[in-house]
Amino acid sequence: MKSKKAQEEIVGFVLIMVIVAVGFLIFLGFNLRQGITTTEESFDLHQFLESSVEYTTECSLRYEKDFAKLGDLFESCYLGKTCFGGQQSSCEVLESTLEGIFSESFVIDPESKYTSFEFESYFVEGEEREEIFSLDKEGECGGKIIGSTYILPAFPGNIENSLKLCIAIT
């Protein structure tokens, strides 16, 4: 009788192991289908954002030849200011300048290293976030995503600039 009980215990143990293995395979299958969704922090992109805010634009905010840096235009755009002379809004200059910087810095194409990018700028005060500006170039992202955030002070809050790039798998 003892050997029959031992056989039943072994069968039960094997059955439990099979159920656990099937459950693990189902879990693994769902996770692999979801793809890569995490963003890897990039020091190079942080330096890129940091240096970009020092770029001198063609917008004068105070007087005619006092050209503003790109970092100043984020707050001016948020506040709805225009460039000196009133011919262009600071948001228009911000957009065209960023488009130029990104197109010169990153070749976004399905056949290149970078397949898409997303840039977002928010005014953050406490728990509230208000979008100032966003710019993206859509593309298929089958690789990994790198990104970084750069924060500028803007009393009474901060301006948070975030850039994400999709890198193609080679």
Q: Where are the domains of the chain?
A: 1-34, 37-167
Are 51 and 70 within 8 A, CB to CB? no
Q: Please report, for residues 98, 124, 140, 170, the alpha-carbon distance to residue 106 in angstroms, rounded to integers and kept in the order given.
A: 12, 27, 16, 17
- Is the pLDDT at 33 greater than 70? The verdict is no
Provide the pLDDT confidence category of residue 5 given band limits of 50, 70 and 90. confident
Nearest to 105 by CA among 147, 54, 165: 165
Higher pLDDT, 69 or 62: 69
The first and second tokens of residue 19, run together, are 């159920």
The first and second tokens of residue 81, run together, are 């200011």
Burial class (CB in 10 A: 0-12, 13-18, 19+), 23: exposed
- Is the pLDDT at 55 greater than 80? The verdict is yes
Q: Which amino acid makes up residue 165?
A: L
Provide the pLDDT confidence category of residue 170 given band limits of 50, 70 and 90. low
**Greatest C-alpha distance within the chain:** 101
Q: Enter the DSSP assignment of 143.
A: S
pTM of the predicted structure, to 2 decimals: 0.72
